[in-house]
């Protein structure tokens, strides 16, 4: 079946704009494919079930899924204010993503930047960015788990990419063994145990404080590095990040 040349041209232009705007990875998934993803609970800061694209935009057609390499530990900084958390790297990522969104809007299309209740990781796999790994992160063959995801929902019809089907993890279970609090089972994370999900007020508890000091150390009074053990032991992306 022939594909409309206008759809192909638009897809090529959007991808070119994404790469020129700082994205390291870009893929397209149709909202029809996103609708087929079973709803699931999102923990952490969101605490809600995933939604279908029409929850945000009734006439949506596509999702542009973007991957940005986390090439340095500075990407893992968390800034706290009481029990509230901020992730400074996402301010930069959102700015870069907004450039692509503005490009689509200049062509007359509607966009929503990072509709957070869409299934971001599942969309990344469907858009061809990588494998859903045993550490519950998207693992790209080149960048490994060291990518951060963003997305743009739009009413622009574009050519979808093929889903990423290869199992990069295979028999490897290094991330499961490396988790300092036993929060990982293959493809499942316990957000109540994972150090990323524990709020700042609990860090000082005697049974948790030494673990945080080793795996999620403070930088300043109100900032610390996220635990990265399940990423550091992954064999993918090490060369790109300069890990030995």
pLDDT tens digit string along 133-150?
A: 999 999 999 999 999 999
Model confidence at 244: pLDDT above 60 = no
Q: How confident is the model at residue 201 (pLDDT cuts 50, 70, 90)?
A: low
Q: What pLDDT was estimated at residue 43?
A: 75
Radius of gyration of the chain (CA): 19
pLDDT value at residue 241: 87
User: Helix (H, G, I), strand (E, B), or coil: what is residue 128?
Assistant: coil
pLDDT tens digits, one per residue of 73-112: 999 999 988 778 889 999 999 999 999 999 999 999 999 9
Q: What is the mean pLDDT of residues 158-187?
A: 97
% of the chain beyond a pLDDT of 90: 81
Separation between Cα atoms, residue 185 and residue 216, nearest integer Å: 21
User: What local confidence, expressed as pLDDT, does residue 151 receive?
Assistant: 98
Residue 164's closest CA among 130, 133, 120? 130
CA distances from 220 to 70, 77, 81, 130, 206 (A): 21, 10, 12, 34, 20
97: closest CA among 140, 148, 158, 144?
A: 148
Residue with tokens 């089907």: 165
Judge whether 208 and 114 are in contact, CB under 8 Å: no
Q: What was the pLDDT predicted at 166?
A: 97
When the pLDDT of each residue in the chain is averaged and rounded to a whole number, the result is 93
Is the dihedral angle over the CA atoms 43, 89, 200, 189 positive or is it negative? positive
β-strand partners of 28: 64
Taking the CA of residue 220 as centre, how many other CA atoms within 13 Å lie in the half-sphere pointing to its CB?
A: 7
* Count of CA atoms in the C-beta half-sphere (13 A) of 6: 3
Weakest-pLDDT range from 43-57, 104-118, 193-207: 193-207
> What pLDDT score does 1 carry?
58
* Residue 27, SS3 per DSSP: strand
User: Is 69 strand, coil or helix?
Assistant: strand
Number of other residues whose CB lies within 10 A of the CB of residue 59? 10
Crossing angle, helix 88-106 and helix 5-20, to 10 degrees?
A: 150
The pLDDT score that the predictor gives to residue 205 is 79
pTM over 0.85: yes
Query: For residue range 3-52, what is the model confidence (pLDDT) as tens digits?
Result: 799 999 999 999 999 999 999 999 999 999 999 999 998 877 777 899 99
């Amino acid at each position: 079946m022939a594909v409309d040349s206008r759809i192909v041209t638009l897809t090529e232009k959007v991808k070119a704009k994404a790469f020129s705007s700082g994205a390291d990875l870009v893929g397209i998934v149709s909202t029809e494919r996103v609708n087929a993803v079973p709803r699931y609970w999102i923990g952490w800061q969101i605490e809600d079930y995933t939604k279908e694209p029409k929850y945000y935009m009734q006439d949506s057609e596509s999702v542009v899924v973007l991957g940005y390499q986390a090439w340095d530990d500075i990407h893992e900084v968390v800034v706290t204010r009481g029990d509230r958390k901020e992730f400074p790297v996402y301010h930069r990522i959102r700015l870069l993503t907004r450039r692509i969104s503005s490009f689509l809007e200049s062509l007359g299309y509607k966009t929503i930047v990072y509709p957070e209740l869409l299934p971001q990781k599942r969309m990344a796999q469907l858009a061809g960015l990588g494998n859903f790994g045993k550490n519950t992160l998207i693992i790209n063959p080149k960048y490994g788990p060291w990518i951060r995801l963003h997305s743009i929902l739009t009413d622009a019809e574009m050519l979808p990419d093929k889903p990423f089907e290869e199992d990069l993890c295979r028999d490897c279970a290094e991330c499961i063994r490396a988790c300092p609090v036993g929060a990982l089972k293959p493809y499942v994370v316990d957000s109540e145990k994972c150090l990323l999900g524990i709020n700042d007020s609990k860090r000082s508890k005697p049974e948790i404080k030494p673990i945080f000091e080793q795996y999620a150390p403070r930088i300043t009074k109100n900032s610390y590095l996220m635990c990265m053990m399940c990423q550091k032991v992954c064999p993918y992306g090490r060369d790109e990040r300069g890990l030995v």
